[in-house]
A and B are shown apart, each in its own frame.
Chain A
Amino acid sequence: MMARPAQGVESDATVPMPLRFGDDTLLWAAWLYYEEGLTQGEIAEKMGLSRASVNTYLADARTRGIVNIEIAPDRFRELSIAQALKDHFNLQDCLVIPTDGDGRPLIARLGAAGAQVLKSFVRPGDTIAVTWGRSVLALAEALDHPGLADVRVVQATGGTTARIPWTPEACASRLAEALKARCIPLSAPAIVSSREVRELLLREPVLAEQMAILAEANRIVMGISSLRPESTIHTSGFLDGIDQHSHYDSAVGSIVGRFISARGQPVLGPLTERTIGLDLEMLQRIPQRIAVAGGIDKIAAILAALRAKHVNVLVTDTATGRGILNAEGWTEPLRRSHPEPVLPALSRSHAKKLINAPQDAVDECLGGALLAHEALIAPVPGTTRAVMAAAGPRTGKVAIVIGGGSGHEPGFWGFVGRGLADAAAVGNIFAAPPPGPILAASRAVSGGAGLLYIYGNFSGDVMNFEMAAEMAEAEGLRVRQIVTIDDIASSPLESRASRRGVAGNIFAFKIAGAAADRMLPLEICEALARRAANRTYTMGLALEPARLLDTRRPSFELGPDDMEIGVGVHGEPGVVRRKLASADDCADLLLDRILAEMKPVHGDRVAVLVNSLGGTPAMELYILHRRVRQRLKAHGLVVHKSLVGPYYTSLDMEGVSLSLLHLDDELASLLDHPCHAPAVTVLER
C-alpha cells in the first residue's frame, strides 16, 4: 500500500480517502484537483496534508501518467461511475473496478476489491454477518489481514445444499479465518420444511443464541443474486421444489436469501416463513451493509437492493455500475478537458418518400412488381401477400417457400422463379408474414414432393413459419424448415444458433432452388440448402439508418462521423459503433471477421455478394468489391461468382453487407445451375 504521509494523521477535519480511489492517494489528489476543481490549499485540508505535499503529489501524478492531458479514460469512468452511484443512492461509499481486467475472472477481481473494502472498514470488536455466494467466497479468499481483537464473524443464514462450494458455512468460516476472528455458525438449514419446524428450531437454545449474535452484527458482507435460471439462488438449492413462476414472478432478485421486488420490497412466498436467518428488517438495522456484486445479468437485482437501501456500500464493476445508472436515466458526463462539439440536428431526419399512404406501400409495391415481372411471377390465390413462380407447381418437384418482412425489396419476391424459390410470402414493413399467406403459398406451389421453408432467424419469422408449417402438415403437406443464421456480427460463435439470417439467405435460396429444379428429393434439397446456409457468412455496416415510411424518421440515430457495425437487415441498430473509415478499411473489417470464421485454405472457392442496404449506390459497392477481390486473391482464394447490387435491402438504409459462401464442388455446380427470377438470372451454359 502506498504510505500515507506522516503529517496526514487523521484528525476530525480530515475526510477518510473515499473507497473509489482504492489506496491510490495520488489518484485522489489528482481527481480533486483536475475534476473537482479544488485548490491545492483545499485539497491539503481535505486530505490532511501540507500544501507543499499536495503540490508534490500533483506533480507526481503527472509524471506517473495518472494525469496527462486526460486522466486515463477507464479510470475516469470508474471514478465517475462510483461517484454517481454514491450520490444517486446516497451510499456511504462505492468502489467500481474495471469490467475487463487483468485476465482474472470478474468474480475473483470483485472479491479482491471487496476484501480491500472490508479491510478499510473493519475495526476491533466488530460483529460481521456474512451471506453466501461466489463473490462472497472470492472476497473471503482474497482477504489477507493481520487480525484484530474481538472480531466475530456470523453466518447470516442457515446452511444450504452441499452441492456448491460457496455455502454460507464455507463463506463464514473462510472469512473468519482470514480475519483471525471467531466464527459463529447458524446451526440449522437455511430452508426448513415448514413454518412449524422453523419455530421449533428457533426455540433451541443453541440456535437462539446464534441468532442473538446475528442481531448484534454491525456490518454485513453480502452478495446479490439475480433470479435468472443460472443464478446462485437456483444453484444453491433455495428454490428446489418451488415453482418460481407461481410465487416469485414479481421478484427481480434475492439478498440474504430473501426475495425482493424491483423497488426492493420483500416478495413474500412459501419460503418466507421457512427461512432461517436474517430478514430484511433485521438487515436494515445493521449500520454498514456491504454488497459485492457485478455482472449485467444482476443489474435489476442490484438496482432493487439499492433503491430500498438494503445496501449502503457497493462494490461492483464499470459495466454493471453504468447499467444501473443508465436504468435510472443517468448518462455519462462528458469530460471537462474534452468538450464534445454540439452536433447539428441530423440532416436526414425527415425523409422524402415516393409513396401514397404508408399503409398501402406494401400492397402497391407488390402490385407493381407483379406487373413488371409478369412473365416470371404471379399472385398466390387467396392472399395479397404472397407471390409464386408464373410457371406454377411442377409435379414431383420439391417446392421452396421463402419469406420475411417487407422493406427488403427485391427480397423476397425477387427470388421467385424457375430454378429459385417457388413462392414468397411477405409481411408488413420489417415484420414477419402471418401464417395465412405462407399457408396459401404452400398450397399453391405444392407439387406433391414436399415443401422446404427457408427464412432468417428472427423470432417473428420463426413463430409464424412454424405455425404455418403446423397448419400445412395438418393438411397433409410435408414441410422441412431451414432457419438461416449467416450474420456473424449478431452473436458470438458460441451462440451461433441465435444469429440472424440476412443477405446470405440468397445463397441458400439459390442452392435450394437448383436442387429442387434437378428434381432431387426433399431430404437432399434440405441437406444441400442447409450446407449452403451453414457455409455462408455475412457481416454488414450502416452509414445511415433507414427511415420508416410512416414517420419518415430514422429507425435509430447515428452521429455524423459514425458507422454502425453489424446492423440488422430489419433496421435494427448494430452491435458496435465506430468512427467512419475508408472503403478499403471497411471492406477489410468485414472480410477479416468473415475469413476468421470461415477458415478457408489456399485454393478454396467462394461466392461473393456485395449487397447494398438500399441507400448505397453502385459506385460504392464496386469500390468495395474491388478491395474484396484484391484481398481474396492475396489470401489465395478463387472467386467463383460475384453478385454486386441491391439484393437484400433495408428500405433506404445507407450501408452494405458482405456475404461469402464457402463453396465445394457440389455447391459450385448448384450455384451455376440456370435460374430466372426478377432479381437473379443465371443463364444456361
Chain B
Amino acid sequence: MVPLTADHITDLFRVIAARLMEARTELGVLDGVIGDADHGNSMAEGFAAIVRASSDAAMRGAPAGDLFPVAAQSFLSAVGATTGPLYASAFLRAGKLYTGRIEIAPEAIPSLIPAFADGIRERGKAQPGDKTMLDVWAPAARAVQQAEARGLDPIACLDEAVNAAEDGREATRAMVASVGRAARLGERTLGHVDPGAASATIIIAALRDAMRRRERAVR
C-alpha cells in the first residue's frame, strides 16, 4: 500500500473537518440538551484550524509525522474550551508515533486511535462509563488493537473501530454523566447521546472513509 505524505495526512484532516462541519448544528443541539451547545462549533472550528495549519506546514515541506504537533497547537488555539486540551493531548500523543517520519505507512494509521484514546484519558481523567468522548475512544482503541492482533488490514481495523465507536456512542444514552458540565444534571442526562461521544464517532468514521477512498484511488 502506498504511504501517506504530508499532503495525504492533510487530506485526512480535511475529510474529518468537512464531516464535523456538516454535523455542526446537530452536535450543537445534542450539547444544548445537556451542556452549553458549543460543541458543534468547537469541533468544526478546531478541525478547520487544523486543516489550515497543516496545509501551510505541508506546503513548507514539513514531514508527514510533524503535522500532528501542528494540529495539536492549532486546535488548542482555535478552540480552548474542554475539547481543546483533550484533542491537543490526543494529537500530541499520536504525533509521538510518527515523529520525524516523512511518510506514514497506511498500516500505521489505525494506531492513531489508541494513541488518541490514551491522550484523552490522561488529560481528561475520565473513566469509561462517565458519559464522555472516552466512551467512544476507549472501545474504538480496543477494537483496533484486537483487529491488529488478528492481522487485519488497516481498512478492516478501522471498520472494527467504527463499529465499536457506534456502539460506544449509543451506550452513552444509558449513562449518567459524572464528569464535565453535564455532571451537574445527573439523572437528566439519561437518554441523551453524549455530544463528545457523537463527534468522536464522526471523526473515526471519517478517518475510515477517507482511508478507504484513498485505497480505492491509489489501487
Name A's B-contacting residues (CB within 8 A).
226-229, 245, 249-250, 252, 261-263, 296-297, 299-300, 303-304, 319, 322-324, 326-329, 359, 405, 427-436, 458-460, 463-464, 467, 490-491, 498, 500, 548, 550-551, 554-556, 566, 568, 570-573, 575
Contacts and interface: CB of A to CB of B under 8 A. Distances in A.
Given A296-B176, A435-B76, A490-B184, A228 B129 contact: yes
A428 B190 contact: no
B184 A572 contact: yes
Contacts of B152: none
Contact of B174 (A300, A319, A555): A300
A625 to B, nearest CB: 27
A434 B28 contact: no
A261 B175 contact: no
Contacts of B42: 428, 431
Contacts of B3: none
Contacts of B184: 490-491, 498, 500, 566, 568, 572, 575
Give the most central of B32, B37, B164: most A CB within 10 Å.
B37
Contact of B41 (A262, A304, A429, A463): A429
Nearest to B186: A296
A554 B127 CA distance: 31
B174 A262 contact: yes
A326 B80 contact: no
Contacts of B173: 326-328
A436 B124 CA distance: 19
A573 B185 contact: yes
Interface in B153-195: 164, 167-168, 170-171, 173-176, 179-188, 190-191
A249 B139 contact: yes
A329 B186 CA distance: 18
Give the most central of A430, A431, A568, A571: most B CB within 10 Å.
A431
B116 to A, nearest CB: 14
Nearest to A252: B171
Give the most central of B82, B141, B143: most A CB within 10 Å.
B82
Given A428-B38, A573-B33, 17 more contacts: A262-B171, A296-B190, A299-B175, A300-B171, A323-B187, A326-B191, A327-B190, A429-B41, A431-B38, A431-B42, A432-B81, A433-B80, A463-B86, A498-B184, A550-B41, A555-B36, A572-B34
17 contacts: A228-B127, A245-B128, A249-B138, A250-B168, A297-B176, A299-B174, A431-B80, A431-B82, A435-B85, A436-B76, A463-B85, A464-B81, A498-B183, A570-B36, A571-B32, A572-B181, A572-B182
B82 A229 contact: no
Contacts of B80: 427-428, 431-435, 460, 464
B52 interface: no
A227 B185 contact: no
Given A458-B181, A463-B85, A249 B142 contact: yes
B176 A299 contact: yes
Cβ-closest 4 pairs across A and B: A326-B191, A431-B81, A460-B82, A434-B80
Contacts of B182: 572
A548 B42 CA distance: 13
B191 A327 contact: yes
A556 B138 contact: no
Interface in B15-56: 25, 28, 32-38, 41-42, 45
A430 B183 contact: no
Contact of B36 (A359, A430, A464): A430
B84 interface: yes
A554 B38 CA distance: 12
B180 A428 contact: no
A261 B36 contact: no
Nearest to A554: B32
Number of chain B interface residues as a range: 35 or more
A10 B38 CA distance: 61
Contacts of B45: 359, 428
Contacts of B185: 572-573, 575
B99 interface: no
Interface in B90-141: 123-124, 127-129, 138-139, 141
B79 interface: yes
Contacts of B84: 431-432, 434, 460, 463-464
A555 B84 CA distance: 21
A679 to B, nearest CB: 22
A575 B123 CA distance: 27
A463 B123 contact: yes
B191 A555 contact: no
Given A300-B175, A459-B181, A464 B37 contact: no
A434 B79 contact: yes
Give the most central of B84, B142, B182: most A CB within 10 Å.
B84
A660 B37 CA distance: 29
B191 to A, nearest CB: 3
Contacts of A463: 82, 84-86, 123-124
A491 B86 CA distance: 24
Contact of B190 (A228, A245, A323, A566): A323
A242 to B, nearest CB: 14
Given A428-B80, A467-B85, A329 B191 contact: yes
A566 B184 CA distance: 10
A569 B129 CA distance: 27
A117 B192 CA distance: 32
Interface in B49-84: 76-84
A261 B129 CA distance: 12
A454 B141 CA distance: 37
Contacts of B141: 249
B81 A556 contact: no
Contacts of A229: 127
Contacts of B33: 556, 573
A498 B77 CA distance: 26
A249 B187 contact: no
